[in-house]
Amino acid sequence: MKRPELLSPAGDLDRLKIACIYGADAVYIGGRDYSLRANANNFSLEEIKEGCEFAHKLGKKVYLTLNIVFHNEDINGVYDYIKEAVLAGIDAFIVSDLFLVNYIKDNFKVEVHLSTQDSITNVESVKYLKNMGIDRVVLAREVRGCDIKKIIEETKMPIEVFIHGAMCTFVSGRCVLSNYFTGRDSNRGGCAQICRFLFDINDEKDFSMAVKDLNMSKYIKDMIDIGIASFKIEGRMRSPFYLAVVLSSYKRIIEAVLNNTLTDDILNKEITILSKVSNRENSTHFYMKDADISDQYYLGRNENSNQDYLGIVIKKENNLYTIRQRNYFKVGDDIEIITPNLDIIKLSVNNLLNEHNEKITVANQADSIIKIEIQEELPLYSMLRKPYLD
């Protein structure tokens, strides 16, 4: 079995570092221009350079999205921008507009990946793109598992598919609801997620088009068997905690598949973790069948903000760990600690100090510095969370 790449979103430099530390083999990022998440923090060219240096030191890759659908006014600056990004060290561009492909391939030794925005769904199109020199295709979310298999078998093209995160209700590239409802350009990074709004339809109230999130954890073995080159996680605007939890969970599943040690118990544990961190229902959508009523989300926008993330280890002195706190917890609480080594450590909090080394009983100020003495050996960037597992 070939090891698939685990590809993480990174909305900024902090997220890039967390993703690389927590098991991503590569990250995809957006610059300040030309990216489909115009309202993520995104990266300046200096940050792209710093991000690439950080990732490359760990043996990871960085892909830069240039996946807006260009208008005339966007064209002029893009060529210089590509040059600068190559100098900054990026490993591949993710493009949507095909006019960029030849320019990049003719001038630079970096890969070009075709964005899911182009909604590629069949063998014939992938062969065409391969002949053009495209190095990888991110398939449309609507492609079934059996068709992914056929595409890989018949084209030998490296294929990337989404395995986790929010889904579009509509075919990527074929939805401009945002343009018409808000004036914000869907295909240039302004998507206002109109498909998650509530509507009236005919005489009925509360019509929803929203769909459940994607969670492919139970099919990871099949997807590795098929030979998918890259497993992509959605969400450049997701939190570092979310990334750490999701990445480490999928990394454990992938390792267990490759080591032939995956059991139902292990898988169910990871499914529990992935469900808890998302706060939204999920399904496998088009992978095994046409999407149907079971893939719709009829509860409106009732996602709660997740307060499970308690803090991150930023310094260690022997067994005294300095934590940047995020959410409320107190002495006596049972917590879990996830580590970049993919471990999950359970413990009860039996001591807390503030940043002046004074004893406290509660940690209740977001972003404050606290300290905890813990016997277990924890790497930097380990994260504390509320218990996800029994």
Could you tell me which stretch among 5-13, 90-98, 276-284, 361-369 binds another protein (CB under 8 A)?
Answer: 90-98
**Least Å from the CB of residue 343 to another protein:** 39
**Least Å from the CB of residue 145 to another protein:** 12
User: In terms of CB distance, is 208 or 325 closer to another protein?
Assistant: 208
Q: Cα dihedral sign for 235, 241, 245, 247? A: positive
Figure out which of the listed residues 1, 58, 75, 389 binds another protein, where binding follows CB under 8 A.
Answer: 75
Contacts of 16 by beta carbon, 8 Å cutoff, 6+ apart: 10, 27, 29, 51, 54, 55, 62
Q: Which residues pair with 334 in a beta bridge?
A: 348
For residues 111-150, which are near another protein according to CB under 8 A?
118-125, 127-129, 140, 142-143, 147, 150
Contacts of 122 by beta carbon, 8 Å cutoff, 6+ apart: 147, 151
Residues 64 and 90: beta-carbon distance below 8 Å: yes
Residue 2 carries which DSSP code? P
Could you say whether residue 200 binds another protein (CB under 8 A)? yes
Number of other residues whose CB lies within 10 A of the CB of residue 80: 9
Residues 99 and 80: beta-carbon distance below 8 Å: no
Number of other residues whose CB lies within 10 A of the CB of residue 143: 20
Type of residue numbered 148: I
Could you say whether residue 99 binds another protein (CB under 8 A)? yes
How many residues bind another protein, per CB under 8 A?
A: 70
Could you say whether residue 153 binds another protein (CB under 8 A)? no
Could you tell me which stretch among 85-93, 197-205, 315-323, 340-348 binds another protein (CB under 8 A)?
Answer: 197-205
Residues 158 and 229: beta-carbon distance below 8 Å: yes
User: In terms of CB distance, is 119 or 215 closer to another protein?
Assistant: 119
Interface residues toward another protein, by CB under 8 A: 38-39, 69-75, 96-99, 102, 118-125, 127-129, 140, 142-143, 147, 150-151, 169-171, 173-177, 179-190, 197-202, 204, 207-209, 211, 286, 290-293, 295-296, 298
